[in-house]
Chains A and B, each alone.
Chain A
Amino acid sequence: MSTAHLIAVGSSPLGKTDLPGRDLFSKALAEAFEELPDPADVVDGLYVGAQSERYENQIMQGTLMAEWAGLRNVPAERVEACAAAGALALKNAVRDVRAGVHDAVLACGVEKMTAGGTEGATNALGAAFERALEQRSGITAPATYALLARRYLHETDATERDLARIAVKNHRNAAANPRAMFQEAVDVETVMDAPDVAPPLKLYDCAPVTDGAAAVVVANDEVAADLRSRPDAVRVAGVGSAANNLAVAERDLTYVEGANVAATTAYEDAGMDAADVDVAEVHDAFTVCEALLAEAAEFAPKGHGIETVEAPEDRSAGWSDVQINTSGGLKARGHPIGATGILQAVEAYEQLTGRADDRQVADADTALLINEGGVADAHTVAHVLTTQ
Chain B
Amino acid sequence: MTDESNSPMTDTDSTTTGPLLPEDITTDSPFTLPGFFDALAEGRLVAARCTECDTHLLPPRPACYGCGSRAVTVSEQPRTGEVRSYTSVNRPPSAFEHLAPITIAVVELDSSARLTGRVDAPLADVTIGDRVELQVRDPEEAGIDPDFDLSYEEEWPVHVFELV
* Interfacial residues, chain A to chain B (CB-CB below 8 A): 118-119, 122-123, 126, 132-140, 142-143, 146-148, 150-151, 154, 196-201, 245, 247-250, 253
Contact = CB atoms under 8 A, between A and B. Distances in A.
Given A150-B128, A247-B116, A248-B106, A136 B158 contact: yes
Contacts of B118: 137-138
Interface string B71-91: 000000000000011111111
Contact of B59 (A133, A142, A253): A133
Contact of B96 (A138, A142, A150, A151): A138
A135 B104 CA distance: 11
A133 B47 CA distance: 12
A162 to B, nearest CB: 17
Interface residues of B, number: 39
B104 A139 contact: yes
22 contacts: A123-B93, A126-B93, A132-B59, A133-B58, A133-B117, A137-B117, A137-B118, A138-B118, A139-B89, A140-B93, A147-B86, A147-B87, A148-B85, A151-B128, A198-B88, A198-B89, A200-B87, A247-B58, A248-B116, A249-B106, A250-B57, A253-B106
Nearest to A143: B89
Contact of A137 (B86, B88, B116): B116
B90 A196 contact: yes
Nearest to B139: A136
Contact of A150 (B36, B86, B92, B99): B86
A118 B97 CA distance: 13
B116 A118 contact: no
Contact of B58 (A198, A201, A250): A250
Interface string B30-41: 000100110000
B91 A250 contact: no
Given A132-B59, A147-B87, A138 B128 contact: no
B85 A138 contact: no
A202 B99 CA distance: 20
A365 B144 CA distance: 52
Contacts of A249: 58, 106-107, 114-116
Q: Which 7 A-B pairs have the closest CB atoms?
A: A146-B87, A138-B96, A151-B85, A249-B116, A249-B114, A147-B85, A143-B89
- Central interface residue in A140, A151, A197, A249, by most chain B CB within 10 Å: A249
Nearest to B116: A249
Given A137-B118, A154-B128, A199-B123, A147 B58 contact: no
B146 to A, nearest CB: 13
Given A132-B33, A138-B102, A253-B84, A197 B90 contact: yes
A245 B104 contact: no
A355 to B, nearest CB: 38
A252 B67 CA distance: 15
B26 interface: no
B30 to A, nearest CB: 12
Nearest to A148: B85
A154 B127 CA distance: 10
A147 B123 CA distance: 13
Contacts of A247: 58, 115-116
B94 interface: yes
B141 to A, nearest CB: 14
A127 to B, nearest CB: 10
Contacts of B123: 199
Nearest to B102: A138
Interface string B46-80: 00000000000111000001000000000000000
A140 B106 contact: no
A355 B52 CA distance: 54
Given A136-B144, A139-B116, A154-B128, 4 more contacts: A138-B89, A147-B87, A200-B87, A253-B85
B44 interface: no
Given A133-B58, A154-B85, A245-B65, A198 B90 contact: yes
B131 interface: no
Contacts of A137: 102, 104, 116-118, 158-159
